[in-house]
C-alpha cells in the first residue's frame, strides 16, 4: 500500500513539473486558424504558484499520516506507589510504643478519624483485636434480640426484673465490645483522643464485669439489693481509679489487671453467702459451670496480659496476630 502511494506521488510530481515547464517555455498555444493568445502568459507568475500548490495538495493527500504515538500502557497503568501504612516501632511517635515486644505493624499518628476508620480495611497490629471485638459485638446484639424474642414466646409472663437481670449482662458485654472496638480503632489518632477513648474502654470493662456481678447477685435471692448496691459501689470506685493518669501505660498494666480482677472477685461474695445459708440446694440456682468458665478465662487472660505471653518469648512473631490487649479485653469481654 505504501509503495503504490509512493509511486503515484512520484508520477504526479514528474507530470506537474513537465506541464509547468512546457507552459513556461512554449508561450502561446497554436489553435486552428484562431488568433494566438497566451492562455498562461509567459510573464505571469501564476503558473509556478498553481503548479506548486497542486504538488503540495497532492503530497498532503497521498502522503500517509505519521503513526500516532503509542501510549506507554505500562507507564499509564502503573499506579503510584502507595503511601506507607504500617511501620516499625522505631518509626512511630514515642507515645504509641506501648509494647517493646511488638516490633512491626504499627500505624503512625493519623490525626484523622476518617483515616482511623479506613485503617479497619488494611492489616496492622490492631486489626485482629478490633475485628474480634466487632464480630463479638454483633453476635451479642443478635443474642440480645434473640433473648427478647424467646421471652416473648414463653407461655407465661416473665417478671420485668428477671428479664432486666438477664438482659443487663448481655447489654453490658455488648457495650464493652463497642467501647473497646472504638478505642482500638481510634488510638492512632492523637495522644489526646487515644487517652479519652482509653478511659471509655476502661468503662466498658468495668461495665461488663459489674453487670455480670449484678446478674449473679439478683438470682441468689439472698440480700439481693444489698449485693447489687455493693457491686455498683465497687464498680464506681474501680472506674474512678482507672481515670487516674497513673493507671495508664504499660507499667501500670499489672495494677489495672489487679483492680479488674478484684472487681470480678466481688461476685463471689453472694455465692459464698448462699452456700453458707442454704447449702448445695441453694447453689443449684446459680449457673456455677458458666461462672467457672468465665472466671477462669478472666484469670488466664489477665495472666497472659501481665506476663506478655507469647510475644515476650518470641518477639516479632506475633506482631499481627497477638496484642497484649487482646488477651485482657477479649477474655474480660
Cα(129)–Cα(115) distance, rounded to whole angstroms?
Answer: 18
Write out pLDDT tens, residues 106-140.
Answer: 999 999 999 999 999 999 999 999 999 999 999 99
Write out pLDDT tens, residues 237-255.
Answer: 999 999 998 898 888 888 9
Q: Mark whether 220 and 94 lie in a shared domain.
A: yes
pLDDT of 181 strictly over 90: yes
Q: Mark whether 160 and 203 lie in a shared domain.
A: yes
Q: Mark whether 58 and 128 lie in a shared domain.
A: no
In a domain, 84, yes or no: no
Residue with cell 506501648: 98
3-state helix, strand, coil in the chain (%, to 5): 70, 0, 30
Q: Mark whether 93 and 49 lie in a shared domain.
A: no
37 φ/ψ angles, rounded to the nearest 5 degrees: -125, 140
* Beta-carbon count within 10 A of 232 CB: 13
Domain of 112 in residue numbering reads as 89-332
In a domain, 79, yes or no: no
pLDDT of 29 strictly over 50: no
Q: Mark whether 282 and 156 lie in a shared domain.
A: yes
In a domain, 185, yes or no: yes
Kindly indicate the confidence band of residue 280, based on its pLDDT and cuts at 50, 70 and 90.
confident
Contact 132, 326 (CB under 8 A): yes
Is residue 273 annotated as involved in ligand binding? no
In a domain, 131, yes or no: yes
Q: How many domains does the chain have?
A: 2
The average confidence (pLDDT) of the chain is 79
Q: Mark whether 41 and 147 lie in a shared domain.
A: no
In a domain, 93, yes or no: yes
Contact 130, 325 (CB under 8 A): no
In a domain, 81, yes or no: no
* The pLDDT of residue 75: 41
pLDDT of 177 strictly over 90: yes
Write out pLDDT tens, residues 187-238.
Answer: 999 999 999 999 999 999 999 999 999 998 998 877 889 999 999 999 999 9
Q: Mark whether 55 and 98 lie in a shared domain.
A: no
Q: Mark whether 14 and 121 lie in a shared domain.
A: no
In a domain, 76, yes or no: no
Q: Mark whether 187 and 303 lie in a shared domain.
A: yes
Q: Mark whether 51 and 180 lie in a shared domain.
A: no
Top-confidence range, 78-92, 167-181, 219-233: 167-181
Top-confidence range, 69-73, 162-166, 198-202, 308-312: 198-202
Write out pLDDT tens, residues 59-79.
Answer: 555 555 554 444 443 444 444
Q: Mark whether 163 and 40 lie in a shared domain.
A: no
| Residue among 220, 218, 198 at smallest CA distance from 210 | 218
Q: Mark whether 315 and 205 lie in a shared domain.
A: yes
pLDDT of 38 strictly over 70: no
In a domain, 124, yes or no: yes
Contact 318, 310 (CB under 8 A): yes
Amino acid at each position: 500500500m505504501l509503495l503504490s502511494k509512493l509511486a503515484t506521488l512520484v508520477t504526479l510530481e514528474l507530470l506537474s513539473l513537465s506541464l509547468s515547464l512546457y507552459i513556461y517555455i512554449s508561450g502561446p498555444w497554436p489553435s486552428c486558424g484562431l488568433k494566438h493568445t497566451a492562455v498562461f502568459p509567459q510573464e505571469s507568475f501564476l503558473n509556478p504558484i498553481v503548479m506548486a500548490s497542486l504538488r503540495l495538495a497532492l503530497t498532503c493527500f497521498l502522503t500517509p499520516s505519521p503513526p500516532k504515538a503509542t501510549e506507554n500502557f505500562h507507564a499509564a497503568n502503573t499506579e503510584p506507589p502507595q503511601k506507607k501504612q504500617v511501620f516499625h516501632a522505631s518509626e512511630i511517635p514515642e507515645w504509641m510504643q506501648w509494647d517493646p515486644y511488638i516490633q512491626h505493624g504499627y500505624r503512625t499518628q493519623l490525626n484523622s478519624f476518617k483515616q482511623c476508620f479506613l485503617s479497619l480495611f488494611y492489616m496492622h497490629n490492631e486489626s485482629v483485636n478490633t475485628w474480634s471485638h466487632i464480630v463479638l459485638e454483633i453476635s451479642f446484639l443478635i443474642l440480645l434480640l434473640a433473648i427478647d424474642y424467646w421471652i416473648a414466646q414463653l407461655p407465661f409472663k416473665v417478671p420485668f426484673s428477671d428479664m432486666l437481670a438477664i438482659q443487663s449482662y448481655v447489654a453490658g458485654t455488648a457495650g464493652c465490645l463497642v467501647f473497646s472496638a472504638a478505642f482500638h480503632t481510634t488510638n492512632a489518632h492523637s495522644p489526646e483522643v487515644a487517652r479519652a477513648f482509653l478511659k471509655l474502654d476502661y468503662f466498658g470493662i468495668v461495665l461488663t464485669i459489674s453487670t455480670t456481678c449484678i446478674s449473679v447477685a439478683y438470682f441468689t435471692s439472698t440480700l439481693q439489693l444489698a449485693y447489687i448496691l455493693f457491686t455498683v459501689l465497687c464498680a464506681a470506685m474501680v472506674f474512678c481509679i482507672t481515670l487516674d493518669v497513673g493507671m495508664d501505660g504499660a507499667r501500670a498494666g499489672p495494677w489495672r489487671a489487679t483492680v479488674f480482677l478484684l472487681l470480678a472477685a466481688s461476685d463471689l461474695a453472694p455465692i459464698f453467702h448462699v452456700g453458707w445459708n442454704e447449702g448445695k440446694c441453694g447453689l443449684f440456682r446459680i449457673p456455677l459451670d458458666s461462672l467457672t468458665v468465665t472466671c477462669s478465662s478472666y484469670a488466664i487472660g489477665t495472666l497472659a496480659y501481665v506476663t506478655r505471653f507469647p510475644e515476650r518469648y518470641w518477639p516479632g512473631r506475633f506482631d499481627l496476630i497477638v496484642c497484649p490487649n487482646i488477651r485482657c479485653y477479649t477474655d474480660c469481654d
